């Protein structure tokens, strides 16, 4: 089923994971994912490092295991700056042979010491190539506070529109810490005529170092409420984890109540935190399903 179809009758819940560097790490991750099968995310996306050479085989293996062994739809990330068209075509064939037909098409970050191959300059070039190549469902990345390289929100939105026009049928945002950023962004997309489902990226802030590195790289401006948590619990990792999970849950509750298309959880491969978030919010996701809503209505009517 095309990912964009999932959004028709519910708020989607999906996870992002990254391929561990060692076979043991991969084994542990699969074990952890098997252990949390009660979560049944709508899909799991698997990153691929553009900067660290060709890591596409690790992404492929994990995507295949998730799709075929765990029976959960998987999405393979493909950053394109360092791939030729032939390499992408070969990779798409491999993915297809493993039953993986959902792709998150990305440009990837440029490395200063490594020239790009030149076949793809922007993610939209890759989207166009994949859609022309075969029957794949393609998603794209989006930036509510604009991409750090963009001159303006306007140009960023227009280039995003191009990505959608070339075939991206669903968007996933960079991590969002202030829900208002997402609603403002959705309004801009509406005005620009971009009407595909947009999942909001939520990252539980449970590790101060990690969050600092990521926000420095991405240039995301953090809300005061979030900075206060980081300052208050910087020296207490256990409290920081609890506060980070509570903050993420609070964001999700508010987003679902206001009709978000979907939540994409940046898990950082931490399935314990993922489980905690799911336990606190799964009834809210379930309540968004039209069938569940109707069933509840009938019960209430019967009651009175």
**Residue 211 token pair:** 């969050």
Look at phi and psi of residue 144 and say left if phi exceeds 0, alpha if psi is from -120 to 50, else beta. alpha
Query: Could you tell me which residues come within 8 angstroms of residue 197 by beta carbon, excluding any fewer than 6 positions away?
Result: 4, 7, 12, 170, 171, 261, 262
Residue 123 binds to ligand FAD (criterion: CB under 6 A): yes
Look at phi and psi of residue 232 and say left if phi exceeds 0, alpha if psi is from -120 to 50, else beta. alpha
Closer to ligand FAD at the Cβ: 55 or 286? 55
- The pairing of strands 43-46 and 12-17 is parallel
Total chain residues near ligand FAD (CB under 6 A): 25
Residue 83 binds to ligand FAD (criterion: CB under 6 A): no
Residue 281 binds to ligand FAD (criterion: CB under 6 A): no
Identify the active-site residue in 5, 16, 216, 272: 16
Residue 61 binds to ligand FAD (criterion: CB under 6 A): no
Shortest Å, Cβ 175 to ligand FAD: 8
Shortest Å, Cβ 50 to ligand FAD: 3
**Residue 302 token pair:** 């019967």
For residue 196, give Cα distances in angstroms to 48, 157, 262.
24, 13, 12
- Residue window 128-147: x/- pattern of binding to ligand FAD, with contact defined by CB under 6 A: -------------x-----x
Shortest Å, Cβ 89 to ligand FAD: 19
The correct pick among 19, 41, 73, 79 for binding ligand FAD (CB under 6 A) is 79
Query: Could you tell me which residues come within 8 angstroms of residue 165 by beta carbon, excluding any fewer than 6 positions away?
Result: none
Residue 21 binds to ligand FAD (criterion: CB under 6 A): no
CA 64, 70, 72, 73: dihedral to nearest 10 degrees? Answer: 10
Residue 202 binds to ligand FAD (criterion: CB under 6 A): no
Shortest Å, Cβ 290 to ligand FAD: 27
Residues 29-48 that bind ligand FAD (CB under 6 A): 47-48
The correct pick among 10, 83, 107, 166 for binding ligand FAD (CB under 6 A) is 107
CA 47-129-9 angle, to 5 degrees, is: 60
Examine the residue annotation and report whether 16 is marked as an active-site residue of this protein. Answer: yes
Residue 292 binds to ligand FAD (criterion: CB under 6 A): no
The correct pick among 172, 211, 229, 277 for binding ligand FAD (CB under 6 A) is 172
Sign of the alpha-carbon dihedral angle for 253, 141, 86, 81: negative
Shortest Å, Cβ 167 to ligand FAD: 13
The terminus-to-terminus CA distance of the chain in angstroms comes to 39
Residues contributing to the site for ligand FAD (CB under 6 A): 47-50, 77, 79, 104, 106-109, 122-124, 141, 147, 149-150, 155-156, 159, 163, 172, 174, 201
Residues tagged active-site:
16
């Amino acid at each position: 089923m095309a990912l964009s179809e999932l959004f028709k009758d519910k708020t989607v819940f999906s996870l992002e994971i990254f391929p561990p560097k060692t076979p043991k790490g991969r084994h542990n991750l699969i074990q952890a994912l098997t252990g949390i099968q009660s979560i049944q995310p709508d899909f799991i996306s698997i990153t691929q490092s553009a900067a660290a050479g060709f890591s596409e085989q690790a992404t492929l293996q994990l995507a295949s295991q998730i799709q075929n062994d765990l029976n959960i739809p998987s999405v393979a990330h493909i950053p394109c700056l360092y791939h030729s068209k032939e390499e992408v075509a070969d990779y798409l064939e491999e993915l297809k042979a493993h039953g993986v037909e959902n792709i998150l098409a990305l440009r990837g970050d440029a490395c200063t010491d490594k020239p790009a191959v030149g076949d793809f300059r922007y993610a939209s070039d890759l989207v166009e190539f994949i859609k022309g190549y075969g029957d794949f469902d393609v998603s794209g990345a989006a930036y509510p506070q604009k991409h750090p390289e963009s001159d303006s929100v306007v140009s960023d939105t227009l280039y995003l529109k191009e990505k959608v026009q070339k075939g991206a049928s669903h968007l996933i945002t960079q991590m969002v810490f202030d829900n208002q950023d997402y609603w403002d962004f959705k309004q801009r997309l509406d005005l620009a005529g971009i009407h595909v489902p947009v999942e909001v990226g939520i990252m539980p802030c449970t590790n101060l170092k990690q969050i600092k590195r990521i926000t420095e790289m991405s240039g995301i401006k953090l809300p005061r409420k979030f900075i206060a948590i980081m300052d208050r619990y910087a020296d207490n990792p256990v409290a920081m984890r609890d506060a980070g999970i509570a903050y993420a849950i609070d964001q999700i509750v508010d987003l679902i109540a206001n009709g978000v298309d979907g939540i994409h959880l940046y898990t950082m491969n931490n399935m314990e935190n993922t489980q905690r978030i799911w336990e606190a919010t799964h009834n809210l996701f379930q309540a968004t399903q039209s069938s569940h809503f109707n069933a509840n209505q009938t019960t209430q009517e019967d009651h009175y």
